[in-house]
Structure formats: C-alpha cells, structure tokens
Amino acid sequence: MMDFRSIPIGSILPQQPPFRFVDQLESYSEEVTEVSFTVREGTMLVEEGHLSAAGIMEHMAQASAARVGYVTVYILHKPVSIGFIGQIRKFVLNRLPMLGEELHTRVFLKQEIFGISLADIEVRSGEELLASATLKTALNDDK
C-alpha cells in the first residue's frame, strides 16, 4: 500500500512557495483524492489574516492538479505537466480560513478525457465545509 504522505508535494505540483496551496497528498483513488494545506503567514493571497476567496480557488485548482500530478508521475511515469483552470462553476464560500487553519480538501473526479478533468471539490476545516465548487481543468501537453 502506497504511503501518500511520503510523496514530496513538489514532485507532483509545478507551483512553488509562496504560491503553493497544497502541503500534502493524503490519499488517492480513481474517484477521490484528498490533500491538506495549512494557511501560513507569507503565503500569497492571504489578506488580513485570512486566505482570500481567490486563494481558496487556487487551492482547489492545485488540489485537482495534485491528483493529476500523482497519476502523471507515479502511475504513467511521465514528467509533471502545467495545467490551467478552464472553468469554475457553483463556487460556494461559507467562510474564509484563518492563518494557522489546516484545510482538508477532497477532489471528486466526475469525468476525464483528453487531458481535461471535471471535478467537484470540497474544502473543509475539521467537519466544517468552508467552500465547494466544480472545476474544469486542462493540461498543457505542448512539449
């Protein structure tokens, strides 16, 4: 059984601090991927002690990218590709996370074809649902 927490997040995500919004891949299956992230001082898109709405959207996109990065690197044995947000729908923000708060995010894959993924994403702090959305992302395979 794979110990996902032993995977260096930089090996599956092209983003680097201070613009990295995922700390750890927690689990992966074909249907659901889980990541975690702690909101820290110095992270971009933190405003007045809270991760901004734009920061939460970027966290969601990077959570989805962590899923794709894991598959690309550890299953397909290819280098990480750069991805793009194609569409954000049904974005619901219940509360902005504060500095020091640990986010646990689940990516529920709905569909994937030709490098385009559609996923429902939930961001939680403990049991509290902070935000949710449906994201469409695409890979740039121009190599």
CA-to-CA distance for 137 and 36, rounded, in angstroms?
20
Angle at 23 between CA 119 and CA 74, to 5 degrees: 65
- With tokens 């260096």, the residue in question is 8
Percentage of the chain lying above the pLDDT 90 cut = 85
Would you give the end-to-end CA distance of the chain in angstroms?
33
Domain 12-140 carries which CATH code?
3.10.129.10
Q: pLDDT value at position 83?
A: 86
pLDDT in tens, 47-93: 999 999 999 999 999 999 999 999 999 999 999 988 889 899 999 99
The model's confidence at residue 96, banded by pLDDT at 50, 70 and 90, is very high
| pLDDT score, position 141 | 65
* Residue 25 exposure: Cα atoms within 13 Å on the Cβ side: 26
**Is pLDDT above 70 for 8?**
yes
pLDDT tens for 134-143 read 999 998 765 5
pTM for the whole structure: 0.94
Phi, psi of 115 (to 5 degrees): 80, 5
Domain boundaries, the chain: 12-140
For residues 83 and 88, give the distance between their C-alpha atoms in angstroms, rounded to a whole number.
Answer: 14
Nearest residue to 70 (alpha-carbon basis) of 102, 39, 32, 103: 32
